[in-house]
Amino acid sequence: MKKILKIVGIVLLVLILLVILTPILFKGQIEKAVKNSINNSVNATVEWEDLDLSLFSSFPDAELKLKNLSVINKAPFEGDTLATSEELALSLGIPQLFKGGPYSINELALNRAYVNIKVDSLGNANYDIAKETTADTTAQSSNGGSALSLDIQHYEINNSRINYLDESTKTFLRITDFNHYGNGDFTADKTNLETNTEAIVSFEFDSINYLNKNSLKLDADFEMDLANQKYTFLENEALINQLPLTFDGFIKINEENQELDLTFKTPSSDFKNFLAVIPETYAKNLDGVETTGDFTVNGMIKGIVDEEHIPMMDIAIKSDNASFKYPDLPKKVEDISIDAVLKNETGLLADTYVNLDQLDFRIDQDRFSAKGNFKNLMDNPLIDLTANGTLNLANLEKAYPLDLDMDLNGILNANLTTNFDMNSIEKEQYQNVKSSGRASISNFKYTSPEIPNDVNIAKASLNFNTQKVTLEEMDIKSGQTDAKITGTLDNLMGYLFSDQQLKGRFNLQSNTFSVNDFMVAQTEEIENTSEEKENTPPTPTGEEAIKIPSFLDARLDFNAKNVIYDNLTLKNTKGAVVIVDETTSLENVSADIFGGNIGINGNVSTKNATPVFDMQLNLNRIDIVESFQNLELIQNLAPLAKALQGSLNTNINLSGNLTNELTPILTSLGGTAFAQIINAQVDTEKTPLLSKLDGQLNFINLDNLALKDLATNLKFNNGQIEVDPFNFNIKDINITAGGSHSFDNQMNYNLKLDIPAKYLGSEIGNGLASLTKTDLENTKVQLPIGLSGSFNSPQIQLNMKQAVTDLTQQIVAKQKDELKDKAKEEVGNKLKDLLEGNKENTQTTQDSTSTEEKSDEDKVKEAAGKVLNGLFGKKKDDKK
């Protein structure tokens, strides 16, 4: 007995050692077999980070796991990712490890995979990576290591995503949250396959969205004839959203095409089936919903699929005298009738059509009905629609659990018919559009967190005719704003059905139009880095911004008694606004403001991240005080205007960048301006520069100075305002000024004052007059003054040296003229003396004159300096 136990113990120990050592011993051999099998099978780069072999997790089978697997395409999709997976798990029998192969995989699990299937416009498919099987490749496989084969009995795909894009047919399929498993014997020619599938499906064909994140569940058993590639539905039950369907028939894959013969139907006729068609996000929970009447879906899809054909189909949707009521909502939808069919009777894609023969419903006393048909869907769709009825929009939310960002309200009346083809819409051949009827809405209110006030439309009515839609009336109120709008819409159908810009021409009349009522909250899109974040809403930045709508191509002629923008009020405003390509152009806009009027031409664009503008402004006879207080542009254009009371004219040509509130970014401005002070009084106490300048110029009184017809040209350049030199007079003192300043109030100006010598006062009599012995009544002294620093903290430089030099030169020049006259007189006397014989007096006079001239020039310069320094340094007694 002990011997037997010892033998059993040894066997168990050996088995345990084998279980522990097998992954180590065979890992390299199996990884080599996997790589060899893949390299001989596919034309792609297949890599994984790690291979793990375990005998414990799936005992009695061995489990092989490939971690972080990737499949990267080669030409013609070089570098594209075909598939990735966090884990691919394969199961195989343990005895195969000791035989050294071939290795047969009996179970496969793909976890957290992403499959990206793409077919380009030429029909090349990125999944077509299988190498052709030849004698050479077969031999290479057998000689290159142990073979790997798939004898699947069970497979599963968990928490995965699949994207399918076919550019040649404009087909896009997205499957998310994909979980699928199947059980069957794939080694047999005929077998039954049990499957279960759950997924979220979105499907788009030719830019038309047919499924949008619809829930799909399918439990189906198939009979698989693998030898003939024929798959027949046995027992099955599908849920599309919450709509139950059952299928019968088969799918057969032939060498040249695929063959389908399928029928499907709703297993019951409860009208709740109709609500189940609607995505659950919108239909909400159907528990407790009361329904009457029926709803059925019956369909047939039969035929072949190849490059030229699709299956023939006949899918009918019907409902008669039905109703539904949600338990938590007060209203009931009644008298529901639906009769629609999707058909194709030839197997040609172009012959698919939809007939909506009836759609009727009633909420309270409001009835609405529609019918139409849609033909030639794949080429040039032909659309024929009729709608008639009345709807209280507020009742829609009271009868159906809509999840909208806005409250529906107002009364909609419609009685219209339209018939058109999409080619005519896209080519703007509106003469081919046949429309007639009317539509109106009344007592409509639009509320949004992006707009500070409700937008109330008392009434709006549209008249449809062959070529245009006429907006006969529209009355709007929002905040302080009221407006009456009429006009025409040139392409309403193009806007509704073809993503075209809305084109039209309108007239607006308003008593008060406040731009502030339509300031919207600026938002920024959050970059989504994962599938789970794709529905994250925009985050408000807290800033306000005005965005010009991208969908408008319109002209608006307007006349408003009062237009309010920020803190400004413009009266009797009229002109035209043209909106196209996110750009607003102002044409011949005029308004009364600041006691005068303004004319505006130019444009503003919000197309790029930074708004820009190019504008011409003409301000005529505007009040300086009002404009300075309310316009930042005037404050920066002419800071000294703060000290002026009066009126001015200015013509400004400006371009530059704008803030989100569409106000100019001053440092970006470029352009020119002409400014003219018509008439103004100066108050030096209101600005430090004039006050300080007035304190240093003792001979001028700047207080209560009157300026008239003072004009200059300006230029905006790199954040600087450059002012051309201009002249003005203070009494009989001529002043020339020019220079530049920046928008942060740093300045660099030069003044040149021509001061009459009479303002030098008694110094003339006591100092210079005795030297010059001439009349200085008309003599002027030129005084240069430099202004720097800021307007609030100015630096004033009086160029006394230049003034002294100028005064000295004038006096010496006049003195020389007098000496010349004196010399002429003395020469005459000398000639006379010569004639009379008096030679000594002549020589003495010449020597005396030369000595006196040199001495007087130095004395004049010294005296001039004392006079001017005294003039600008003494206490001001009597301003002129």
Q: Dump pLDDT digits (tens) for 134-155.
A: 555 554 445 544 555 667 888 8
**Residue 604 β-bridge partners:** 584, 613
Q: pLDDT-derived band of residue 541, with 50, 70 and 90 as boundaries?
A: very low
**CA gap 384, 434 in Å, rounded:** 9
pLDDT value, residue 279:
62
Q: Is 327 left (phi over 0), alpha (psi -120 to 50) or beta?
A: alpha
Low-confidence winner among 169-178, 338-347, 688-697, 827-836 (lowest mean pLDDT) = 827-836
Indicate whether 16 pLDDT > 50: no
Indicate whether 15 pLDDT > 60: no
**CA gap 344, 310 in Å, rounded:** 9
In Å, what is the CA distance from 173 to each residue of 110, 202, 203, 209?
A: 20, 6, 5, 10
Q: pLDDT-derived band of residue 358, with 50, 70 and 90 as boundaries?
A: very high
Indicate whether 306 pLDDT > 60: yes
Q: Dump pLDDT digits (tens) for 525-536.
A: 444 444 444 444
Q: Dump pLDDT digits (tens) for 113-135.
A: 999 999 888 878 888 887 765 55
The closest of 286, 356, 367 to 333, measured between CA atoms, is 367
- CA quadruple 751, 757, 763, 766: dihedral, nearest 10: 160
pLDDT value, residue 850:
46
In Å, what is the CA distance from 128 to each residue of 123, 155, 514, 582, 788?
A: 11, 22, 62, 45, 77
**CA gap 173, 205 in Å, rounded:** 9
Indicate whether 683 pLDDT > 60: yes
**CA gap 633, 638 in Å, rounded:** 9
Percent above pLDDT 90 for the chain: 20
The closest of 71, 65, 138, 132 to 102, measured between CA atoms, is 138
Mean pLDDT of 600-624: 89
8 A C-beta contact, residue 344 and residue 299:
no
Element (H, E) at 418: strand 411-421
**Residue 211 β-bridge partners:** 203
8 A C-beta contact, residue 826 and residue 848:
no
DSSP-H helix ranges across 659-761: 688-696
**Residue 268 β-bridge partners:** none
**CA gap 65, 86 in Å, rounded:** 10
The closest of 643, 637, 786, 617 to 712, measured between CA atoms, is 637
pLDDT value, residue 845:
46
The two tokens of residue 461 are: 């009515």
414 or 643, higher pLDDT? 414
**CA gap 653, 633 in Å, rounded:** 12
The label of the residue with tokens 């006259």 reads 821
How distant is the alpha carbon of residue 738 from its chain centre? 43
pLDDT value, residue 288:
83
DSSP-assigned states of every residue in 93-145: ETHHHHHT--EEEEEEEEEEEEEEEEE-TTS-BTT--BPPP-HHHHHHHHHSS
The closest of 28, 39, 29 to 141, measured between CA atoms, is 39
**Residue 714 β-bridge partners:** 673, 723
Low-confidence winner among 435-444, 737-746, 807-816 (lowest mean pLDDT) = 807-816
8 A C-beta contact, residue 86 and residue 68:
yes
pLDDT value, residue 450:
58
**CA gap 576, 503 in Å, rounded:** 15
With a CB cutoff of 8 Å and minimum separation 6, the contacts of 723 are 712, 713, 714, 737, 738, 739, 740, 741, 749
Q: Dump pLDDT digits (tens) for 741-774.
A: 888 888 898 888 887 766 655 444 444 544 444 4
The closest of 83, 56, 85 to 68, measured between CA atoms, is 85
Q: Dump pLDDT digits (tens) for 250-289.
A: 999 888 888 999 999 988 878 887 877 776 666 666 778 8
* Bond before 60 cis per omega within 30 degrees: yes
**Residue 342 β-bridge partners:** 315, 354
**Residue 597 β-bridge partners:** 592, 620
pLDDT value, residue 720:
85
DSSP structural state of residue 500 = P
Mean pLDDT of 162-177: 88
For 414, phi then psi, to 5°, come to -145, 140
The two tokens of residue 361 are: 């419903």
Indicate whether 196 pLDDT > 90: yes
For residue 875, the one-letter residue type is K
Indicate whether 858 pLDDT > 70: no
Identify the burial level of 868 via C-beta atoms within 10 angstroms of its C-beta, where 0-12 means exposed, 13-18 middle and 19 or more buried: buried
The closest of 420, 398, 421, 424 to 409, measured between CA atoms, is 398
SS3 853: helix
With a CB cutoff of 8 Å and minimum separation 6, the contacts of 729 are 735
Pairing of strands 103-119, 148-166: parallel
Q: pLDDT-derived band of residue 510, with 50, 70 and 90 as boundaries?
A: very high
**CA gap 299, 349 in Å, rounded:** 17
The two tokens of residue 244 are: 């139950």
Element (H, E) at 823: helix 800-836
Indicate whether 732 pLDDT > 80: no
**CA gap 21, 363 in Å, rounded:** 75
pLDDT value, residue 539:
44
In Å, what is the CA distance from 836 to each residue of 822, 824, 844, 845, 848?
A: 20, 18, 17, 16, 22
Q: pLDDT-derived band of residue 378, with 50, 70 and 90 as boundaries?
A: confident
Indicate whether 394 pLDDT > 80: yes
8 A C-beta contact, residue 600 and residue 574:
no
Mean pLDDT of 475-486: 91
pLDDT value, residue 314:
95
* Bond before 102 cis per omega within 30 degrees: yes
How distant is the alpha carbon of residue 384 from its chain centre? 36
Identify the burial level of 198 via C-beta atoms within 10 angstroms of its C-beta, where 0-12 means exposed, 13-18 middle and 19 or more buried: middle
In Å, what is the CA distance from 665 to each residue of 275, 655, 729, 743?
A: 55, 10, 35, 10
pTM: 0.60
pLDDT value, residue 733:
79
The label of the residue with tokens 């040649």 reads 168
DSSP-H helix ranges across 697-795: 762-763, 769-772
Mean pLDDT of 571-588: 90
Residue 287, CB-side half-sphere exposure with 13 Å CA sphere: 1
**CA gap 696, 871 in Å, rounded:** 10
For residue 160, the one-letter residue type is S
**CA gap 614, 617 in Å, rounded:** 10
pLDDT value, residue 85:
92
Mean pLDDT, the chain, integer: 78
pLDDT value, residue 851:
44
SS3 381: coil
The two tokens of residue 348 are: 């040609």
